Chain A
């Protein structure tokens, strides 16, 4: 069965420093992988999506993620954090049997300090 593991429940960075949110996936096939962001009291918004076209995926707000099959990882990065990046981030994998069903990680809360 597919699954995703977000390795950190909380990450704290200073404004202007790099962001790294880690995600490992488990899948017996080549999955679709997503990162979603949830700002406080808001719905989820798609940051980026990997569908095998390119291993380095660029998303909105300066975020990007790299698919590494050998490491089964899909880490989210941003070169310079902004205060507005403070939110909950979810790594998500599509279900093998039904690619329109998503399996969510438990989330990583990103704090950004001035």
Chain B
């Protein structure tokens, strides 16, 4: 199992450009998440999905969009990049079955470091 994979690892964007951060998991997890991590801060939830075709906003969704057409993939889209979106982005997944004590353990990808200039 590769676990959770993210591409690219690094990216520099100009203000106003758009890009998609890719995330794939091969653990057949139902739930997937996108977080951002700013320097000296914990992770903030951007969007999450409880299954294919279902997405919902997290704490900081503005400026981002997501889709979940398959169980494995959960891409994050930045339409008009702004300097405030400079951050490290982490994708995560969890099994998400009620009643299982380990179900809400989240498994994280290695991150994408994005700089917007």
Assembled-state Cα–Cα distance A107/B105 (Å): 18
Count how many pairs of residues, one from A and one from B, have CB atoms less than 8 Å apart in the complex.
55
For chain A, the count of residues having a C-beta within 8 Å of the partner chain is: 23
Q: A100-B96, A107-B42 are in contact. Are A94 and B108 (CB under 8 A)?
A: no
- Interface pair B41/A106, CB less than 8 Å apart: yes
Interface centre among A42, A43, A53 (most CB of B within 10 A): A43
Asked whether, in the complex, the Cβ of A101 is within 8 Å of the Cβ of B58, the reply is: yes
Contacts of A41 in B (CB 8 A): 110-111
Contact check, B108 vs A102: say whether CB atoms are below 8 A apart: no
Q: Using a CB–CB distance below 8 Å, which chain A residues touch chain B?
A: 9, 32, 34, 36, 41-46, 49, 51, 53, 90, 94, 99-102, 104-107
Complex CA gap A94/B106 in Å reads 11
A44 in complex: contacting residue of B41, B44, B90, B102, CB < 8 Å: B90
A100-B103 contact, Cβ under 8 Å, with A43-B109, A43-B111, A106-B42: yes
Q: Does B53 contact A (CB under 8 A)?
A: no
A100 CB contact (under 8 Å) in B44, B104, B109: B104
Given A43-B4, A43-B110, A106-B40 in contact, is the A101-B90 Cβ separation under 8 Å?
no
In chain A, what residue has the closest Cβ to B88? A41
Whether, in the assembled complex, B43 has its beta carbon less than 8 Å from a beta carbon of chain A, the answer is yes
A61 to B: closest C-beta gap in Å: 16
Contacting pair A100 B31 (CB below 8 A)? yes
A101, B48: Cβ atoms closer than 8 Å: yes
Nearest CB in chain B to that of A104: its residue: B42
Kindly state whether residue B94 has any CB partner on chain A within 8 Å: yes
Contacts of B44 in A (CB 8 A): 104
